[in-house]
A and B are shown apart, each in its own frame.
Chain A
Amino acid sequence: MKRRSRRLVGGLRLRLVVAFILVALVSAVTSTALAYRDARTAVLQRTQNTAVHDLREQVEEVAADFDIPPDQRSLSRFAAKVSDGIGARLVVARYQDRVAVSDSRAETEERITPELRTAVHIGDEARFQRVMWRGEPYLVVGMPVKYADGDRRASGLEVFSIGDLRAERDDTAALLDSVRAGTVPVVLLAAVLALLAAGTVLRPVRKLGRATRELAAGDLGSRVAVTGHDELADLARTFNETADALQASDAELREQEARARRFVADVSHELRTPLAAMTMVATVLEEDADQLPPDAARAARTVGAETARLARLVEDLMEISRFDAKAVRLNAAETDLADTVRASLALRGWTDRVRTHLDEGVRAVVDRRRVDVIVANLVGNALRHGAPPVTVTLRTERRDRAADGTDGAGGEWVTLEVADHGPGIPAQARERVFDRFYKADESRTRGAADDSGQGSGLGTAIALENARLHGGTIDVSDVSDVSDVSDASGTGGGSRRGAVFTLRIPLRRTEEEAE
C-alpha cells in the first residue's frame, strides 16, 4: 500500500509525463518566441518601409511646385496634400518656426519626439520612430525636404507623418493568441505520448518485477517473455539466465540433500541385519557374564550395553529418515492421555522418579506410540540432564487464534509440561536443542554411565517431528520464564530453576478411525 502511493508520486510514469510536458513547453515557447519576433520584425519593417517610401514619394511630388519659404497657408496646404497622398495619415510640416498640421484638431507635439526632430533636422535622410501615445503605438516618420535640383541642399522644410500601428499590433497579438491556443493541445499530446512511452517501458518493467517477486517467493520456475532487442529485453534475458542458474543450483542442492538422506536411510537399513544378530546374542553374553573371568565379564557387559545403544541409534536414524522422506503415518485413535503418560513412565520404571500432575479424562485422537516416544524422550532427557524432581503436568487449555503469537488455530489444546530442576538450558542453546546430535551445555550432560543410558542425540528431534505430525509443537524454556509452572506442591521454593519442555497438540476428540 505504502509502496504504491510512493510510486504514484515518484514513479517513473509521472517523471516521464513531467519531462515530456516540460520539453514540449520549452520547445513550443522557444519556437513561438523566435517566430513571433521574426514575424513582428518583418511586419514592422514592411510598415516602416512603406511609410517612409510613401512619404518620400508624396513629399517629392508635392514639393515640386512648392515655394520656399512658405507662408502659413501654403504650409498648411502642403501638409494637407501630403496627407491626402499617403492615405489621410496625419502630416506635420515645419518650416523653421512655422508648423502646419493636416488635421488641425490633432495633437501632434507629444508624438514627434525632440530626438526625432533633432535627428531629422541635422540629418538628410528620412527617420522614423515608434512611439506609444495614450496607450497606442504610432509610427512617426520624419524627413527634410531638399531641393530637387543641384546639390540637393536642405530646404529647411521638414515633414513628419504619424501613422498608427494598431493593425500591426493586433496582427502580431493574434499570432501570439493562436500560438498560445496551440500550446495547450501540444502539451496534452505530449502528456499522452509520455503515457504511451511510459507504458512501453513500464510494462516489461512490471512483468520483470512480478517475475522477481515470484522468484523471491520461491517459485524458481518464474520466467519473463523476452521481446525485442532493447535494454529491457537484455535485462529480461539476464533475469531468465539468473533464474535458470538459481534453479539449476537449487535442484542440485536438493538432489544432493536427497542423496545424503537416502544414504543415511540405506546405511541404517544395512546396519540393521548385523545389529539384529548382535542384539540377539548380546543377551547370551550378558546372561553368562557372571561366569566369565572379570575382564571378559566387563567386556561382555560393555558389548551388551553398546549393542543396545547402537540399536537405539540405528532405530532413531531410521525414524528420522522416515520423517525426512515424509514416509510417516499417524496411526491415530482416541486415547486417554493420562493413562498413556502413566504407562510410558511405568514401562521404563520411571514412575517413582517423576512427579505427575495429570488432568484425568483427557481423551484425544493421537498416535499412542508417537506420544509415548515424545514422553519417553522428554522425561528421559529431564532425568538424564536435569536434576530431580522431574515434574510432568498434563492439562488442556483453550487458546484464541494465535493469541500468544505462535501459529496454529484456536480451540482446545493439550499441553504436556516436563520440567526439571537442573541448571536449565542457556537461552542461546534453546533453539538448537532440537537439532540433530546437538549436545547442550556440558553441565547438562551427566556421566555416560547414567542408568537410563545415553540418548542417541536424535531424541528431541524425533520428539519434535512427532509433535508436528500431530499438528503440535514443543517449546523449551526455563522455569523462571513460565509464570504458572507446576503448582503449590512444587517444593523447590523461590530458587527453582531448570528446563521446561512443553508439548502442545491440538485436542481432537473424534475422528475417522482406521478399521
Chain B
Amino acid sequence: MPHVLLIEDDASVRDGMELVLRRHGYAIDTAATGEEALALLDGPAGRKVELAVLDLMLPGMDGFEVCRRIRARTTALPIIMLTARGDDQDIVTGLEAGADDYVVKPVTAPVLEARIRAALRRAEPSAPVRGTEAGLAGLVIDRAGLTVTKHGVPVPLPPTELRLLLELSASPGRVFSREQLLESVWDHTFLGDSRLVDAAVGRLRAKLEDVPAKPRYVQTVRGFGYRFGPL
C-alpha cells in the first residue's frame, strides 16, 4: 500500500484527494501547511511516506520552500506539485526547486493517480534497467545498484534524475528528444511538458557537471534534445 503525503491547505480539495486516493489503495497522510508537512516527515510517520503531493499555494511557508526543504532532507522522495495552469513561472520555479512532476488544478482523479503511479515506478529499486555499469570520465553509474559516483564520491540523485541519467547513459552518444524522454522517464504520453525534461537536466547537471553552464556529461543537441557524452 503506497504511502502518500498530501500537502494542501484547502480542506475540500484535500478531503477529495484523500477520498479518491484511498479508494485506489493508497495510504494517506495529510498536512494543511508546509510546516506541518515537514514536521510529519521528520516524525516517525515520515519514514513511511513514499511520495508527496504538494500544493504550491500554501499559507505561511510556500510550496517552493517546502519543496527545497524536503529535497534537503531526502533525495529519494518523489514530489508532485499541484499548480495552476499557465502560471508558467510557478511551474519552472517549482521544477527548479526539485519537484519531479506537476499536475494542474483542477485535476481529475485518473490523471492524478496516473502521475502518482508513474512517479512511484521511477522510484522503485526494481525498475528495469538495461546494462550493468556505464562510465564516462570519472563518472561511474552502477546500473544494478542504482548509485552514481564521481571520482569515487557518491552523488545522491532523486529518482527522476537518476532514471533520466540511466536512460541517457544506456546509449551513450545517442540523441533523445524531449518527447522520448518524457515517455520513457515520466511515463507521460503525448503532450508532456518539455520543461520537465529541461528542469530535470538542469538539476542533474548542477549535481554532476564541473561547470554546469558547459556540460560534458549531459549535452544539449540544439533543436533535437539531449545525449550522454561523448566527450
- Count A-B contacts at CB 8 Å: 95
If A372-B191, A510-B222, A515-B202 touch, whether A280 touches B17 (CB-CB below 8 Å) is: yes
Contact A281–B20 (Cβ < 8 Å):
yes
Answer whether residue B220 sits at the interface, using C-beta atoms and an 8 A cutoff: yes
* Total count of chain A residues near the partner, CB < 8 A: 39
Q: Which of B52-99 contact A (CB under 8 A)?
A: 84-86, 88
Answer whether residue A333 sits at the interface, using C-beta atoms and an 8 A cutoff: yes
Contact A276–B198 (Cβ < 8 Å):
no
Binding stretch for chain A, among B38-46, B107-115, B154-162 = B107-115
Of B109, B178, B191, the contact of A369 (CB 8 Å cutoff): B191
Binding stretch for chain B, among A28-36, A311-319, A438-446 = A311-319
Residues of A within 8 A of B86 (CB): 318-319, 322, 327-328
Answer whether residue B106 sits at the interface, using C-beta atoms and an 8 A cutoff: yes
Answer whether residue B105 sits at the interface, using C-beta atoms and an 8 A cutoff: yes
Contact A277–B88 (Cβ < 8 Å):
no
Contact B220–A280 (Cβ < 8 Å):
no
Contact B195–A514 (Cβ < 8 Å):
yes
Answer whether residue B13 sits at the interface, using C-beta atoms and an 8 A cutoff: yes
Contact A283–B223 (Cβ < 8 Å):
no
Query: Least Cβ distance of A322 to chain B in Å?
Result: 5
Contact B195–A284 (Cβ < 8 Å):
no
Query: Least Cβ distance of A167 to chain B in Å?
Result: 107
Contact B109–A283 (Cβ < 8 Å):
yes
**Residue of A at shortest CB range from B91?**
A331
Of B13, B20, B178, the contact of A283 (CB 8 Å cutoff): B20
Residues of B within 8 A of A291 (CB): none
Residues of A within 8 A of B19 (CB): 280-281, 284
Alpha-carbon distance A272/B19, docked complex (angstroms): 19
Contact B13–A280 (Cβ < 8 Å):
yes
Query: Least Cβ distance of B212 to chain A in Å?
Result: 10
Alpha-carbon distance A330/B220, docked complex (angstroms): 20
Query: Least Cβ distance of B202 to chain A in Å?
Result: 7
Contact B194–A279 (Cβ < 8 Å):
no
Query: Least Cβ distance of A283 to chain B in Å?
Result: 4
If A284-B19, A284-B23, A329-B88 touch, whether A274 touches B12 (CB-CB below 8 Å) is: yes
Query: Least Cβ distance of B16 to chain A in Å?
Result: 3
**Residue of A at shortest CB range from B220?**
A515
**Residue of A at shortest CB range from B23?**
A284
Residues of B within 8 A of A284 (CB): 19-20, 23, 109
Residues of A within 8 A of B190 (CB): 343-344, 346-347
If A328-B86, A513-B223 touch, whether A347 touches B108 (CB-CB below 8 Å) is: no
Answer whether residue A489 sits at the interface, using C-beta atoms and an 8 A cutoff: no
Answer whether residue B189 sits at the interface, using C-beta atoms and an 8 A cutoff: yes
**Residue of A at shortest CB range from B85?**
A315
Answer whether residue A368 sits at the interface, using C-beta atoms and an 8 A cutoff: yes
Residues of A within 8 A of B210 (CB): none
Would you give the 0/1 interface string for A113-136, flagging 1 where the beta carbon is closer than 8 Å to chain B?
A: 000000000000000000000000
Alpha-carbon distance A284/B20, docked complex (angstroms): 7
Alpha-carbon distance A158/B193, docked complex (angstroms): 136
Contact A280–B108 (Cβ < 8 Å):
yes
Answer whether residue B10 sits at the interface, using C-beta atoms and an 8 A cutoff: yes
Answer whether residue A435 sits at the interface, using C-beta atoms and an 8 A cutoff: no
Contact A276–B222 (Cβ < 8 Å):
no
Q: Which of B16-47 contact A (CB under 8 A)?
A: 16-17, 19-20, 23
Residues of B within 8 A of A280 (CB): 13, 16-17, 19-20, 106-109, 112
Answer whether residue B124 sits at the interface, using C-beta atoms and an 8 A cutoff: no
Alpha-carbon distance A163/B67, docked complex (angstroms): 131
Residues of B within 8 A of A515 (CB): 198, 202, 220
Answer whether residue A275 sits at the interface, using C-beta atoms and an 8 A cutoff: yes
Q: List 5 A-B contacts (CB under 8 A).
A: A280-B109, A308-B108, A315-B106, A331-B195, A347-B190
A residues with a Cβ closer than 8 A to B are: 269, 272-284, 287, 308, 311, 314-315, 318-319, 322, 327-329, 331, 333-334, 343-344, 346-347, 368-369, 372, 510, 513-515
